[in-house]
Amino acid sequence: MARNNWTREELIVAFNLYCKTPFTKINLSNKGVKELSKIIGRSNSAVALKLANFARLDPALQERNISGMSHGGKGEEEIWNEFSNNWEDLAYESEKILATYNESSLEYSANISVQDLPTEGKEREALVKIRVNQSFFRKTVLASYDNKCCITGISITELLVASHIIPWSMDIKNRMNPANGLCLNSLHDKAFDNGLVTVTPDYVIKLSPRIFDVLKKNNPSDLFLLPYEGRKINKPQKFRPLTEFLEYHNQNIFKS
C-alpha cells in the first residue's frame, strides 16, 4: 500500500534537502533525492515531488514566474512558515532528525569538524549547534546561487563563502536565514564584510569611494573589483536577499 501522509519529521528533512539543492537539480536522478528516499522509505518520485511542492512557496521562484508544482499540501506550508520564523532552531532540528534517520551522530551526519571541541558538556553542545547551523547556512546559500559567486561567477567550491548581509553578531533571528546570505568568492566576501563593496536593494554592485582612492595609486593588482561596478549580481534561484537586509548593509556596513 502506498504511503500518503508525510510525518512532520519527514517534511522537515525534505525541506532540509530542498534548501541544499539547486532548483534546477530537483529531479528523480539527483543523488540527494535518492539518498533521502532510501532513508525515509519513500520513492524517488515522491521525494522529488515533495521538493517541488516546497518550491511553489519560494518568493524568489514566484518572482521569476516559476511556481514548482502548482498544488501541494498544507504540511509544506506549515514547515515553510515554521522555518521562516525560526531558522536558528529549526535548521538545527532538521540536521538532528536527519542524523537520526542516518543512524549516525549529529557531528558525522552534518560533516562538521569537532577535533578542537571539548569532549563533553554544555560548551561542546553549544559549539556543535553553531557549527551545524553554519554548515546548513553555507550549503543552503551556495545551493541558492547554484554554487557560483553572485558577482564573478566563480564556481570553485573551496573559494566560495556564504556571506552574511547583516553580520552574524548583529541579527540573531536571521543568522540562519538564507535570504540574509550572498554566495561570494573569498576575496569579494572580504571586501563585502569590510564595506568596500555592497549590493543595493535593486541588486546592483556598488563600490566604495575608498576603492577609487586606492586605484589612484595605479597599482594594477587593485583593479579586481572595478569591472563589476554598476553591474547586477546573478540573482539566486531560491531565497532571494530581502530588501531590508540589503538596505542595512548599504546604510551600516558600506563605506560611502
pLDDT, one tens digit per residue, over 26-38 is 999 999 999 999 9
Among candidate residues 103, 118, 143, the one where a domain is terminated: 143
Q: Are residues 139 and 12 in the same domain?
A: yes
pLDDT for 201 equals: 96
- In a shared domain, residues 123 and 154: no
Q: What is the pLDDT of residue 61?
A: 78
201 within domain boundaries: yes
Asked if 138 and 166 sit in the same domain, the reply is no
| Least reliable range by pLDDT among 55-69, 88-102, 185-199 | 55-69
Residues 66 and 30 in one domain: yes
Helices (DSSP H) in the chain: which residue ranges? Answer: 8-20, 31-40, 44-55, 59-63, 74-85, 87-102, 106-109, 122-144, 186-193, 209-215, 243-248
Whether residue 60 is found in the same domain as residue 180: no
pLDDT at 68 over 80: no
Other C-beta atoms lying within 10 Å of the C-beta of residue 65: 6
Residues 28, 134 share a domain: yes
Residue 211 has pLDDT above 50, yes or no: yes
State percent of the chain over pLDDT 90: 61
Residues 36 and 65 grouped into a single domain: yes
| In contact, 185 and 161? CB cutoff 8 Å | yes
| Average pLDDT of every residue of the chain | 88
pLDDT at 217 over 50: yes
- Three-state secondary-structure class, residue 203: coil
Whether the pLDDT of residue 1 is over 50: the answer is: no
Given a cut of 90, whether residue 223 has pLDDT beyond it is: no
Residue 196's domain comprises 145-253
Q: Which of 105, 120, 143 is the last residue of a domain?
A: 143
Q: Can you tell me the mean pLDDT for 72-89? A: 87
Same domain, yes or no: 199 and 239 = yes
Q: Which of 20, 13, 14 is nearest to 142 (CA)?
A: 20
Arithmetic mean of pLDDT, 68-91: 82
Sorting pLDDT into bands at 50, 70 and 90, what band is 206?
very high
| pLDDT (tens digit per residue) in 113-171 | 776 766 767 877 788 888 889 999 999 999 999 999 999 999 999 999 999 999 988 98
Q: Evaluate if pTM is beyond 0.95.
A: no
The residue with greater pLDDT, 34 or 220, is 34
